[in-house]
Structure 1
Amino acid sequence: MSNDTCNLPLDTDVLGLTCIYGLIFSLGLPSNLLSLWGLYHLGRSGGGGCQLVYILNLLLSDLLQLLTLPLWILYLQRGHRWPYGQLTCELVGYVFYVNVYASVVFLCLIAMDRCLAIVYPLSSRGVRTVKVAAVSGVAVWTLTFLFCLSGLLPSVFDSDRLLCLEQYPVSPRYAHFKITTVLLGFLLPCTILGYTSAHIGVTLRRSPSVSDHERHKIVGILVVITVNFIVVFGPYHLVGGYRFVSLLLTDEPCGFENSIFLVYRLCYGLTSLNTLLDPLFYIFLCPDARLELQRSLPCLGRGQNTRKKRNPQYQISTRHQEGD
């Protein structure tokens, strides 16, 4: 690859990414805070177990990633010029990337924990403990940080053009790092999620003690999780893999960067959607967490009770009980 500077149309992604980041931040911040509040009360009541630890780490990583979005919006509005200095760029860049891939790993841990609980309920009790989950969480954060640090350290900030987390054209070292993230941060997790979903599905079909309703619910949630992972992270990693492999092979990197710039940047922005969808799939679909949230926030319970009382079937059943 050439060491020349590419003059790309950096303003073409401003409108799209500003809208994406603004929508995700305005909806994701309250939903993640609400979910963390529900998890806090669920933990105080003694529920959740090791699953609670994994989901808590997942939501914390989402929240940290969300807090970087206003700075990225300001960066875009300034024409891809980072005015806050190199240290701030490095810090925000590491937070963003570390939390993206920490979220991916915690998704896999949650899926593997569900698989062990359903397929090996007795033999996995020694592994599925809060202590093991806590140690796993610390290991995930440490390894993810070190991995991202090794790849981002020389390539985060361009002091001449004030670009943050952008490099046109990229260095061969950074291209190899990004190809590795495609393999370890997308293809491997896809394999894990697919395997656990299939294994759980086979086990549920063979289990006579599980009702059809529960079976369809568990499999449906696992399928939605896997599809959500592919839809949110798939475009960025697949387009990124094509981009960085091509840059290692092409003799005209700037021309290629120009042709793929907008598509890659929009796919990059879509990865933040996981911060908006994680609370939906892992908290609001969890009955225990919903109950704790309603107990801690009575306004939610009042709204639900009001809807029930307006329901004709509820009124009929109430009159029957009064008659009895």
Structure 2
Amino acid sequence: MFNASCNLPLNTDTVCLTYIYSVIFTFGLPSNLLSLWGLYQLGRSGGAGCQLVLILNLLLSDLLQLLTLPVWILYLQGGHRWPYGRPACELVGYVFYVNVYASVMFLCLIALDRCLAIVYPLCSRGVRTVRVAAAAGVAVWTLTFLFCLSGLLPSVFDPERLLCLEQYPVSPRYAKFKIATTALGFLLPCAILGYTSARIGLTLRRSPSVSHQERNKIVGILVVITVNFMAVFGPYHLVGGYRFVSLLLTDEPCRQERSLFLVYRLCYGLTSLNTLLDPLFYIFLCSYARMELRRSLPCVKRRRAPPRPGPPTEPGSPTPESASSKALWE
């Protein structure tokens, strides 16, 4: 299957992307559902808080993105031909893009929330509430939808070649939209994650109540999360940024599209890895959520039944154990 305008070998990405999407969907769907169930049980036990609201929104965006992957697998197996019509293409395309960038924004909000909990534990208590987190969630969904809508209009469907969410060569308007997504959807979040990690690390280093081993563990996990974000979203946005800037400057757009087609498509597929990794870093590292998950699922074996936990201590309140560690992970 070759593109009529740029003569692109569209089927070269079929095998790799099919395997990537299949693995992500197979393991990502149960891990997200388990994480959602664990958080639901945590909320029922009285552990609701602003972090819980933000992480629930993050998992919801990941789950919605995951549900589009089987459709993209069928699209790839059909030779990049969309047989379901324009409305279905626009719906799936918007759902995919909106949830990719909603996920990124919720990651930033979680990082900012944890930074406030560690660096400003007392004065941030009035801001770090369930009501504020819920309002922030509504704002994120609204702004992300409007932003993606403005960039993907008038349509993401090519009726002549039956391409969905693909255009070769891209229009100048779409290229500018993708450059904006690189700046707002990757570079800005990288700065936020880097800044919050640095502030948390500096605060923990100055805190006498945090042991050296605990400090190294927290900082290490923060570094892993930041590096994971850069590894998953970095190639796609950096290659895409180069692609769309060069397309605006070159006189031979099809030559540029041919040189970057396979690399860009593989980087595009790797962005869905965040739906598999988010539950690992943000849920399975939370001991209260794991405890509620084991308690609510009899099929999960455990050596002994731990006492049912009360509501997690509000970050910033003094406790015999490290308040910094609890604010960050509990």
Match of 1:299 in 2: 299
| Residues 90 and 155, structure 2, Cα contact 8 Å, conserved in 1 | no
TM-score normalised to the size of structure 1? 0.91
Match of 1:148 in 2: 148
Match of 1:103 in 2: 103
Match of 1:321 in 2: none
| Residues 14 and 77, structure 1, Cα contact 8 Å, conserved in 2 | yes
Question: Residue 274 of structure 2 aligns to which amino acid in structure 1?
Answer: N
Structure 2 Cα separation of the partners of residues 26 and 158 of structure 1: 30
Match of 1:73 in 2: 73
Q: Does 1:169 align with 2:169?
A: yes
Q: How does 1:80-99 map to 2 (within 5 A)?
A: 80-99=80-99
Question: Residue 286 of structure 2 aligns to which amino acid in structure 1?
Answer: C
Match of 1:315 in 2: none
Would you say how many aligned residue pairs link Structure 1 and Structure 2? 302
Q: How does 1:273-292 map to 2 (within 5 A)?
A: 273-292=273-292
Report the CA distance between 1:211 and its aligned residue: 1.9
Provide the secondary structure at the position in 2 that maps to 1:298.
coil
| Residues 65 and 100, structure 1, Cα contact 8 Å, conserved in 2 | yes
Structure 2 Cα separation of the partners of residues 48 and 276 of structure 1: 24
Provide the secondary structure at the position in 1 that maps to 2:222.
helix
Q: What does the per-residue CA deviation read over 1:298-321, in whole Å, with 9 as the maximum and x for residues that have no partner?
A: 222x24559xxxxxxxxxxxxxxx
Percent of aligned pairs sharing the same letter:
82
Report the CA distance between 1:287 and its aligned residue: 0.6
Provide the secondary structure at the position in 1 that maps to 2:244.
helix
Structure 2 Cα separation of the partners of residues 265 and 60 of structure 1: 25
Match of 1:218 in 2: 218
Structure 2 Cα separation of the partners of residues 107 and 261 of structure 1: 29
Report the CA distance between 1:210 and its aligned residue: 1.4
Question: Residue 291 of structure 2 aligns to which amino acid in structure 1?
Answer: L
RMSD: 1.2
Unmatched 5+ stretches in structure 2? 306-330
Match of 1:129 in 2: 129
Unmatched 5+ stretches in structure 1? 307-324
| Residues 232 and 270, structure 1, Cα contact 8 Å, conserved in 2 | yes
Report the CA distance between 1:95 and its aligned residue: 0.3
Q: What does the per-residue CA deviation read over 1:48-90, in whole Å, with 9 as the maximum and x for residues that have no partner?
A: 4100001000000000000000000000000000000001100
Question: For the pair shown, which has the larger CA radius of gyration, 1 or 2?
Answer: 1
Structure 2 Cα separation of the partners of residues 303 and 289 of structure 1: 15
Report the CA distance between 1:217 and its aligned residue: 2.1
Q: What does the per-residue CA deviation read over 1:134-153, in whole Å, with 9 as the maximum and x for residues that have no partner?
A: 00000000000000000001
Structure 2 Cα separation of the partners of residues 14 and 305 of structure 1: 47
| Residues 82 and 164, structure 1, Cα contact 8 Å, conserved in 2 | yes
Match of 1:118 in 2: 118
Q: Does 1:199 align with 2:219?
A: no
